[in-house]
Structure 1
Amino acid sequence: MPSARASLDSYDEAILRILATEGRIAATELARRIGLSKSPTQARLKRLEDAGVIAGYRAMLDPIAMGLAHVAFVEVRLSDTREAALQAFNRAVRAIPEVEQCHMIASRFDYLLKVRTSDISDYRRVLAERISALPHVAATSTYVAMEAVKELV
């Protein structure tokens, strides 16, 4: 079965590039910018949505304006990496709102978390009361971000 990427033409790629930065663009303006009329542009949008290439639309929030300027990356090593332990960790970490991202990693540690809080003392509380209390956590290491050079918000 061909990948979704292989089935995208230059019009689809242009639509996706524009929507990635201007999700609220009107269909008529989108059509004008990619060089098609409104109806074929809307049909392409529907096809991209139905295929799951466009997973949804959302507001992009500015975490700094919301008072969440502190970013820390946390390496998490588990005491048990059998499937049941991994699933328990996965379920529990999803419930922590300060964890912005969680990735299972093939490394000397098991997970990498991106944690966003208001300041270092708030982060310390989240680490002590929430992250360290997650199922099967054996150890953590924290790296505080000094500046975001490139970031999707």
Structure 2
Amino acid sequence: MSNEYTLDAIDREILFQLQQDGRLTNVELARRVGLTPPPCLRRVKRLEEAGVISGYRATVNHELLGGGLEVIVSIEVSVSDLKTLEELEKTIAAYDEVVEFRRLFATPDYHLRVLVADYAAYEAFQTGKIIGIPGVARVISQPTMKKIKVLD
């Protein structure tokens, strides 16, 4: 059984419009996609129930909240036992500065997006929170120069 959900052109347009503005009223969304409100709402509900639309959220301007420096962090680990990796993941995921955290299939083992106020705050984060976690072998930090395309 396939986990795929088949989208038609209207479903794709609904998703596009909601990704642009998740606060659209159903009436406005229906107008933009060329439907009347009742069938538009049914389609949105069907997309939500199928898990295609997994939620709605606010996009936060982190710079206004003191998170003006974004750093892409790659972490390589030196262990392969599951308990150590689970503890490493639990520890890093709990940090407020970490806004994205992924385990990869290749080297590096992990990819993080970290938001902090400035370089001094990042140094404190890396040396105080990442370095020294059991299993961390190497940390590579790449400060972001410019965001070109952001989906979320």
State the shift of 1:73 in Å.
1.3
Rounded to whole Å, the distance in 1 between the matches of 2:40 and 2:148 is 34
In the alignment, structure 2 segments of 5+ residues that lack a partner are none
What's the counterpart of residue 108 of structure 1? 107
Rounded to whole Å, the distance in 2 between the matches of 1:52 and 1:37 is 23
Instruction: For 2:68, give the aligned amino acid.
Output: A
Matched, 1:36 2:7: no
Q: Percent identity?
A: 33
What's the counterpart of residue 93 of structure 1? 92
State the shift of 1:106 in Å.
3.0
State the shift of 1:70 in Å.
0.5
- Aligned with 1:59: secondary structure? coil
State the shift of 1:125 in Å.
0.7
Matched, 1:22 2:16: no
User: What TM-score do you get using the length of structure 1 for normalisation?
Assistant: 0.91
Rounded to whole Å, the distance in 2 between the matches of 1:49 and 1:106 is 30
- Tell me, yes or no, if the aligned pair for 1:4 and 1:53 is still in contact at 8 Å: no
Instruction: For 2:28, give the aligned amino acid.
Output: E
What's the counterpart of residue 146 of structure 1? 145
Worse-superposed segment, 137-146 or 16-25: 137-146
Q: Report the RMSD for the aligned CA atoms in angstroms.
A: 1.5
State the shift of 1:77 in Å.
1.3
- Aligned with 1:71: secondary structure? strand
- Tell me, yes or no, if the aligned pair for 1:92 and 1:135 is still in contact at 8 Å: no
Worse-superposed segment, 85-94 or 67-76: 85-94
- Tell me, yes or no, if the aligned pair for 1:73 and 1:115 is still in contact at 8 Å: yes
Rounded to whole Å, the distance in 2 between the matches of 1:134 and 1:9 is 47
Instruction: For 2:116, give the aligned amino acid.
Output: T
Instruction: For 2:98, give the aligned amino acid.
Output: V
What's the counterpart of residue 48 of structure 1? 47
Rounded to whole Å, the distance in 2 between the matches of 1:2 and 1:10 is 21
Rounded to whole Å, the distance in 2 between the matches of 1:13 and 1:50 is 16
Q: How many residues align?
A: 152
State the shift of 1:120 in Å.
0.3
User: What TM-score do you get using the length of structure 2 for normalisation?
Assistant: 0.91
What's the counterpart of residue 2 of structure 1? 2
Worse-superposed segment, 103-112 or 57-66: 103-112
What's the counterpart of residue 70 of structure 2? 71
In the alignment, structure 1 segments of 5+ residues that lack a partner are none
Instruction: For 2:38, give the aligned amino acid.
Output: S
